[in-house]
Amino acid sequence: MRGLLFVIAMLLGLLAGTTSAIAAQESDLKEAAMPVALPKLGAPLTADQVSAFAKLALANIHTQYPNKPGNVVWDEASVRTPRQMHPAFYGCFDWHSSVHGHWMLVRLLKDYPDHPMQAEIRQKLAENLTAENLQKETAHFREEHNKRFERMYGWAWFLRLAAELETWDDQQGEQWRESVRPLEDLLVEYIQDYLPKLTWPIRTGVHPDLAFALAQELDYARVVGNESLAELIQRRAKDYYLGDTGYPTKYEPSGQDFFSSCLNEADLMRRVLSRDEFVRWFDEYLPGLERGEGGNLLTPVNVSDVTDGYIVHLAGLNLSRAWCMRGISSAMPEDDARVALLDAAAADHAEKGFGYVFSGHYEGDHWLATFAIYLQAGVGAE
């Protein structure tokens, strides 16, 4: 018996040692994947952090494969490579990720103009954002079978890029601003045709979520002074969401969300309503939140496999939840009990989300940096 106990103890010790070694190895791998210390929410990035984020985008905007085109093929002649279809936005696995990767690089140039990598970033952007390339992009969207391509997630990110260029006093930026205008105008036309026909809002934790797109497009409309587009979005947002009450937070998230449809909606409505109107709406929309009754919304999510292209969406969920919470908080009176609750939850989500950005795996590397910069820069709540 004593011998048996000794063997069992030895096995348990070996198992514990193995488990400890695995944990240590995983920790080492995680630290090795992170080239810099993670940013603090709301704080300016260090030069090393800017470089780390920029390098993720620069490594991907000219990486054509692997690629998920998403276009409709209607005959043999329509079978084309990603770069043939999208000479500006062929990298980053899919069109929308390439677009928001370009947006992120523009934003870094604007916020950190003296950064040592600014010349390299400008060179890489200049290769893609030419008038000729954007004309070809526009031609793709004009094709009958591609008029709904990237509706409306990719459209929203493209208009965010246009808005970023609109507000940049920079000679090269002004050239890129003119380059994107043809596709920008076409997408605005498409939006104005689509929204009056859309009877019901699209509520989901992934790309088609309508509230996210409307928020981006409303910001764009206000930046460029397109009053008719802004009025249409505000009117339709009220049609879709103004009567919403008692959102069932316990049903979020699903297993591959990178958005909270609940929080995206509130982040839109704080743009649409006055402060007093929004507070009254939010009272009914998430009743009990001031008592901490937020269901699953207030708890950051873990990502079980960063190499799975869908499961890693949850890393982005942490980041998008955080920017929504900060946006909602900014629209409420400072003495509202929910402000501190939302700000604390946003900080927790940001810390968790930042930890997944530099995983070293393409499944997240091709897009997560954009979500991190969107959050860190306070976009939409500026």
CB 115 within 8 A of CB 108: yes
Residues 6+ apart with CB under 8 A from 21: none
CB 162 within 8 A of CB 200: no
Tens-digit pLDDT string for the chain (382 aa): 444 343 334 333 433 443 343 333 334 334 446 788 989 999 999 999 999 999 999 999 999 999 999 999 999 999 999 999 999 999 999 999 999 999 999 999 999 999 999 999 999 999 999 999 999 999 999 999 999 999 999 999 999 999 999 999 999 999 999 999 999 999 999 999 999 999 999 999 999 999 999 999 999 999 999 999 999 999 999 999 999 999 999 999 999 999 999 999 999 999 999 999 999 999 999 999 988 888 899 999 999 999 999 999 999 999 999 999 999 999 999 999 999 999 999 999 999 999 999 999 999 999 999 999 999 999 988 7
- Quote the CA–CA distance of 164 and 239 in Å, as a whole number: 28
Q: What's residue 33's pLDDT?
A: 64
What are φ and ψ of residue 164, in 5° steps?
Answer: -65, -40
Q: What's residue 36's pLDDT?
A: 86
